[in-house]
Amino acid sequence: MGKDRPLYIGVDVGGTKILAAAATETGAVVAREKQPTPRRAPMDKVIEAILATIDALLDKKRVRRGEVQSIGVAI
């Protein structure tokens, strides 16, 4: 992504999948990543899966962490 172009990440954690999307200030989605939600797993494993989904999203689009303005999570 370009310099000085902040991105916003939204994460939806459901019973079957974790879906993360990166969007611009105008709401244009520039990348999505989906992974299964660990079922019947301790909370720390679910948190690890959320972080892994975000990391995969950033890696997919070669986004630097400094470009992320904020992250919202819905569970």
pLDDT tens digit string along 10-65? 999 999 999 999 999 999 999 999 999 999 999 999 999 999 999 999 998 887 77
Pairing type for strands 68-74 and 17-23 reads: unpaired
16 burial (CB, 10 Å; 0-12 / 13-18 / 19+) is exposed
Confidence band of 3 (pLDDT split at 50, 70, 90): low
Amino acid at 74: A
